[in-house]
Structure 1
Amino acid sequence: MKLDFKFSNLCGSAYKQGNLIFTPDGNCVLSPVGNRVTMFDLVNSKSETFPFEARKNIVYMALSPNSQLLLTIDEDGRALLVNFVRRVVIHHFNFKGSARVAEFSPDGMFVAVAVGKRVEVWKTPKLNKEFTPFVLHRKYSGHYDDITHISWFWDSRFFLTSSKDLTSKIFSTDPIPGFIPSTLAGHRETVIASWFANDKTTIYTVSKDGAVAVHKFNLYDTQEEIEFGTFPVNSETGEHLRTQWSTPKHHYFKQVGSKVRCAFFNSSTQILLAGFSSGVFGMWEMPTFTELQTLSISQNKLTAAAINPTGEWVALASSKLGQLLVWEWQSESYILKQQGHIYDMSYVAFSGDGQYVATGGDDGKIKIWMASTGYCFVTFSNHSSSITAIQFTKQNQVVVSASLDGTVRAFDLVRYRNFRTFLSPTPAQFSSVAVDPSGEIVCAGCQDSFDIYVWSMQTGKLLDVLSGHEGPVSSLEFRPDGVQLASSSWDKTVRLWDVFDRGKSVELINHNFEVLSVTYRPDSKQMCTSTLDGQIHFWNTFDATQAGSIEGRRDIAGGRRQNDLRTAENSSFGKSFNSLCYSADGSVVLGSGNSLYVCLYDVESAVLLRKYQISSNFSFDGMHEKLNSKYMTETGPIQQIDSDHDASDLEDRLDKSLPGAQTGDLSKRSTLELVRTRCIRFSPSGRQWAAATNLGLVIFSLDNTLHFDPFDLDTNITPETVLNLAKKKEYLRSIINALRLGEHAVISTVYKYIPIEQVKIIVKQFPSKYLLRMLSFVCTVFETNCLLELNLTWINQLLINHGSYYSSNSTSTKPVLRDVRKLIFRVHSSLGKLCDENTYELLRLLTCKLPETTDYEE
């Protein structure tokens, strides 16, 4: 089995903090999710999380005008310069200060960065290798407080800064004779943002209290006329003429009881967008300040806003809910509406075909995601407390969930409704759930009464109550053949129940510590359990004898927390596995817990094969192995102190989370979270695995586009010889040598050379050791090329002529066959829908009557 799982995507976390960016074509929006960046493709309905990570949470992003460079800045002022096309980090840089704003100039030559009270203008780095990518152009000062916004003039000669000192300033990129930086005042609160208007003679500034000031300049002590649309510069001498700025108008948003949190101005369409602390956003057309639209989209404050270049779509985000939406204001419809779980994600489950991923959270919501696109397409909010377990039925049409609210619910994925609710005779909190392979029996374990309840899926009636555990039931799972039910408990036992036997025979497996998880191998011959002491035990299912064990305390252990009085080695926190999962072939087992690591073990040798790190975000606690005393103060860790005074306003300090609270806690305290992985699951194909963490749904997958993956390679096999064989119409030798070479591009070229009528002849002579590799390649290119008939012909002939090979080697071929089934089902459904639409359209056209023609005589 391959072990090179790499980070693939991050779902369930649409927005964390920072700004939003539209790409220049307006089809994609970039959103910061912690220390990563996610791009939402609004046209193709896909999301992609970039593989690179910043050191801490990203607070600002800037994209170059040609979409080649992406600059991200984290909380410590450390920047990453990224090749946006290839998603590769080019350079790391430290601005050595609180950098919160950065903007590229319109010509792409400079990038202005606000570091505290000053502005640093750097020359834009090039894509080729440079000895010093960041070269400082100039430094600017003059503000008395932190800068909040930077905007450039259209020709990149001037830029405008806004600050918390209630003013805005105009600076020139290069020294201009006679030019003196101008200061624009007149606001009573922090200036959120300021921009140059489209007429190039007006500046708009927006303050936190909802005031919009219109600034215009007049020539000072001169009667010389200037050309319309330019700043006052003498065309003959090049000197800057003396100007005097005035504020002829003030506009007000008139949102009573709320303040402006974010604003954006589209200079091409002259539309001003503002988001307020009440969850309301509004759009106004400048310079007339005509209200276009006002809408409430959230109950919490909006923290980021953006408009695409054409002015059609509006992107808004709220950091408290992690909500991101794109609104088409002219048609008043949503283009994108994504929101993760408000609190931590607690459970994850894959559907049988691997197309869907279900997640449950502590907010009581269940979300269903498309595994291929990363989009959430349905959310169930029927539960009123935390979700503890989720499972798909065999037909993938029903999702069963257990919750601490005392209910087990079944959701229909065809009609998107809760069609069955299972209750216990006495109120109980359910901690686990299991559905038998036939989908007829539902079992749920309790954490307070220690019983296991059994219901019928069809009738919803309680069939049986399994008693015997003396502690909370931590995990339940049916054996894949459906004969047995295994339950683990904190009473240090695992019980094997025969649910369908009237005698209710129970087999007991004792452990030395509390059992946290239990799972079966896909072939039903082995069972795996994890205990509180950090060990993983393997058991034979037929005679209940122990087959081996793994000591995993050191493997799963995390770092030291800031308030720990002992070292990480002597701490017992997070040194156990809360979730276990076998791979599709049963050769390896994956384990996770309250740690930032996920461990992959080989079952036969009981050896640690690979340890994956979920995140490298130092904004979380427990990331360091050792603590540094310079970050410790008399009042506690320096990270918990609000040094930026972001909570200086009263509404930021109020905590009204408790029912009936009027004032709340006026002294805001901040604590750092720990990275926790509460559930982990392999996909049915074995090509990827997903982890339910407090970061979101983290997905790791194998790279299907390996450029060089040789198999049975010979020195005489080169790309040139392979292509020459294909040109000579020696198709069998060319495709076999291409598979042996392992280069994806060469295999694709030979694959397209082979005529469809030759596929049947070639497959009959195919060597058996290349069959699995060939079928895997066809599945890889199925969704990327447009050769539908060729792909289906290859799959059909491989299965017809060599079906006995795939059935006899089911352990290794089962993941690939599941991929084939998923692809065929997807093509069948899409083509069927297209054919139905064409049929209905033809019938409609045939039934339409042509208008009668009338001849008019002159």
Structure 2
Amino acid sequence: MDSVEPAEINTSTTAAGGTQPQPGRPPVKPPAKVRRRTLLLAALGATAVAVPLAVIESRAHDAAKSRKATLTVPDGHADSMAFSPDGKTLATGLSGVRGTGSTLRLWDVAEGTATTPWADHVEDLTKVAFSPDGKTLAMTGALAVYLWNVADRTSIALPHPEPTLDLAFAPDGRTLATGGRDGAARLWDLPTRALTNALTAPGTAAVNAVAFSPDGDTLATGSEDLTESPVQLWDLLTRTVDATLQAPRRHGFTSVAFGRVGYIMATGSADNIVRVWDYVTGTITAELTGHTGAVTTVAFSPDGDTLATGSEDRTVRLWDSSTLDVVPIDTLTGHTDKVTTVAFSPDGRTLASGSLDRTVRLWQNR
């Protein structure tokens, strides 16, 4: 990889063979071929460009060489990120922003420009997510979840009795799950905007991570409780706990993500370990070590080949999820503070990482 000068984007201060299927489950696909990837850095522009709410600073380079792109947030940082389904837009939920009214920014990924800030009444925003069709952008607020129409930027608020810590759309886009500080995972029917269920399990003080399985039949809820630290797997047909995944050490789960191939799920933990589970049998299939700080965020690539993990140790690590090799494919460095969030673009070619260092970095395959 060539060493190159970064392009910075700054917001304005005003702004091997398959397994037999189990009853009632789809067949497990054969593991994907191992593809040792070198993640290169994305280029967002070749010349300096001025736009109303963002300034792109870059230098011309040989087109064959890679570049690093850095999106800088003045006086704030990204707590959550989500790519739109078409991959053209990156939404970032911002915290600690001073001098602006909005806690959300959208970025045109190809152009590297920030869009007009969104309404300033969405306070304490911690999570953002696009609906599968890209028409709705959901975000958490202090005591509400906001559903924004992307086209006209009108919103509907779903009242939430406690601060919302995470949210996720079901694969069919008809259900939204939220995790609350009161220990409940709530299910919302989006066509009617009605609350249909509040899922609670004994001993759970706060649900800080929610994720749907690829088939939409299972909801995983993670807790940072330091007693049992469970991940609960909820059968959404019966609204009951199908399994409880217990880690051998009592450390909270900070993030949960389902894989796209087979029955695997990854969790990040405060004990610096990434655990990969078979969520049908409830067993740990791999423990990925190497991070020297709490694992704050996990995400699988759309093709299922790669698991990205971010940590308080300021690094992003990439793991081959087809082999679950304990040695990472790559370790991405450059952030100067804790990594808070990672997200893959829909085509899997770009990985975004956010940090308390007030930057979002884009890393791209080539």
TM-score, normalization: structure 2?
A: 0.65
Identify if the C-alpha distance between structure 1 residues 511 and 494 changes in structure 2 by more than 3 Å, giving closer, same or farther: same
CA contact (8 A) 1:436 1:482 kept: no
Equivalence for 2:24:
none
Pairing partner for 1:583 from 331, 337, 345: 345
Q: Distance in 2 between matches of 1:442 and 1:542?
A: 23
Q: CA deviation at 1:505?
A: 4.3
Pairing partner for 2:160 from 361, 376, 382: 382
Equivalence for 2:186:
409
Give the alignment's Cα RMSD to 1 decimal. Answer: 3.0
Equivalence for 1:367:
146
Identify if the C-alpha distance between structure 1 residues 481 and 372 changes in structure 2 by more than 3 Å, giving closer, same or farther: farther
Q: Which amino acid aligns with 2:126?
A: S
Is 1:457 matched with 2:239? no
Q: Which has the higher contact order (CA 8 A, sep 6+)?
A: 2
Equivalence for 1:507:
286
Structure 1: tracts of 5 or more residues without a match: 11-32, 37-49, 55-320, 323-337, 558-574, 605-858
Query: Aligned runs of 1:302-341 on 2, under 5 Å?
Result: 340-341=120-121
CA contact (8 A) 2:137 2:150 kept: yes
CA contact (8 A) 2:260 2:303 kept: yes
Q: Distance in 2 between matches of 1:506 and 1:404?
A: 30
Identify if the C-alpha distance between structure 1 residues 341 and 441 changes in structure 2 by more than 3 Å, giving closer, same or farther: farther
Q: Which amino acid aligns with 2:161?
A: H
Query: Aligned runs of 1:28-43 on 2, under 5 Å?
Result: 35-36=14-15
Equivalence for 2:214:
437
Equivalence for 2:330:
548
Paired residue secondary structure (1:524): coil
Query: Aligned runs of 1:17-416 on 2, under 5 Å?
Result: 35-36=14-15, 52-53=52-53, 340-341=120-121, 343-361=123-141, 363-376=142-155, 378-385=156-163, 387-416=164-193
Q: Distance in 2 between matches of 1:411 and 1:509?
A: 34
Q: CA deviation at 1:487?
A: 0.4
Q: CA deviation at 1:510?
A: 1.3
Q: Which amino acid aligns with 1:488?
A: G
Q: CA deviation at 1:458?
A: 2.4
Q: CA deviation at 1:357?
A: 0.7
CA contact (8 A) 1:341 1:365 kept: no
Equivalence for 2:105:
none
The CA deviation string for residues 134-174 of structure 1, in whole angstroms up to 9 with x for no partner, is: xxxxxxxxxxxxxxxxxxxxxxxxxxxxxxxxxxxxxxxxx
Q: Which moved more, 1:577-586 or 1:462-471?
A: 462-471
Identify if the C-alpha distance between structure 1 residues 550 and 526 changes in structure 2 by more than 3 Å, giving closer, same or farther: same
Q: CA deviation at 1:430?
A: 1.4
The CA deviation string for residues 402-439 of structure 1, in whole angstroms up to 9 with x for no partner, is: 12121100111111111011101124211111110111
Q: Distance in 2 between matches of 1:375 and 1:34?
A: 25
Paired residue secondary structure (2:233): strand
The CA deviation string for residues 821-854 of structure 1, in whole angstroms up to 9 with x for no partner, is: xxxxxxxxxxxxxxxxxxxxxxxxxxxxxxxxxx
Q: Distance in 1 between matches of 2:219 and 2:8?
A: 34
Identify if the C-alpha distance between structure 1 residues 472 and 603 changes in structure 2 by more than 3 Å, giving closer, same or farther: farther
Identify if the C-alpha distance between structure 1 residues 395 and 576 changes in structure 2 by more than 3 Å, giving closer, same or farther: same
Q: Distance in 2 between matches of 1:542 and 1:359?
A: 32
Identity of aligned residues (%): 20
Q: Distance in 2 between matches of 1:489 and 1:592?
A: 18
Is 1:534 matched with 2:280? no
Q: CA deviation at 1:399?
A: 0.7
Identify if the C-alpha distance between structure 1 residues 495 and 341 changes in structure 2 by more than 3 Å, giving closer, same or farther: farther
Identify if the C-alpha distance between structure 1 residues 603 and 489 changes in structure 2 by more than 3 Å, giving closer, same or farther: farther
Is 1:484 matched with 2:264? yes
Q: CA deviation at 1:52?
A: 2.1
Q: Which amino acid aligns with 2:134?
A: G
Q: CA deviation at 1:602?
A: 2.5
CA contact (8 A) 1:382 1:418 kept: no
Q: Distance in 1 between matches of 2:260 and 2:359?
A: 28
The CA deviation string for residues 620-640 of structure 1, in whole angstroms up to 9 with x for no partner, is: xxxxxxxxxxxxxxxxxxxxx
CA contact (8 A) 1:521 1:586 kept: yes
Query: Aligned runs of 1:641-720 on 2, under 5 Å?
Result: none
Q: Which amino acid aligns with 1:454?
A: L
Q: Distance in 2 between matches of 1:390 and 1:448?
A: 19
Q: Distance in 2 between matches of 1:34 and 1:600?
A: 22
The CA deviation string for residues 633-675 of structure 1, in whole angstroms up to 9 with x for no partner, is: xxxxxxxxxxxxxxxxxxxxxxxxxxxxxxxxxxxxxxxxxxx
Identify if the C-alpha distance between structure 1 residues 460 and 411 changes in structure 2 by more than 3 Å, giving closer, same or farther: same
> Which has the larger Rg?
1
Query: Aligned runs of 1:758-769 on 2, under 5 Å?
Result: none
Q: CA deviation at 1:5?
A: 11
Q: Distance in 2 between matches of 1:497 and 1:403?
A: 24
CA contact (8 A) 2:204 2:225 kept: no
CA contact (8 A) 2:204 2:223 kept: no
Identify if the C-alpha distance between structure 1 residues 5 and 441 changes in structure 2 by more than 3 Å, giving closer, same or farther: farther
Q: Distance in 2 between matches of 1:427 and 1:344?
A: 23
Q: Distance in 1 between matches of 2:177 and 2:347?
A: 25
The CA deviation string for residues 230-284 of structure 1, in whole angstroms up to 9 with x for no partner, is: xxxxxxxxxxxxxxxxxxxxxxxxxxxxxxxxxxxxxxxxxxxxxxxxxxxxxxx
Structure 2: tracts of 5 or more residues without a match: 1-6, 16-49, 55-100, 103-117
Q: Which amino acid aligns with 1:480?
A: R
TM-score, normalization: structure 1?
A: 0.29
Equivalence for 2:92:
none
Q: Which moved more, 1:519-528 or 1:529-538?
A: 529-538
The CA deviation string for residues 277-314 of structure 1, in whole angstroms up to 9 with x for no partner, is: xxxxxxxxxxxxxxxxxxxxxxxxxxxxxxxxxxxxxx
Equivalence for 2:254:
474
Task: Indicate the structure with greater helix content.
Answer: 1
Q: CA deviation at 1:6?
A: 8.4
Equivalence for 1:302:
none
Identify if the C-alpha distance between structure 1 residues 536 and 603 changes in structure 2 by more than 3 Å, giving closer, same or farther: farther
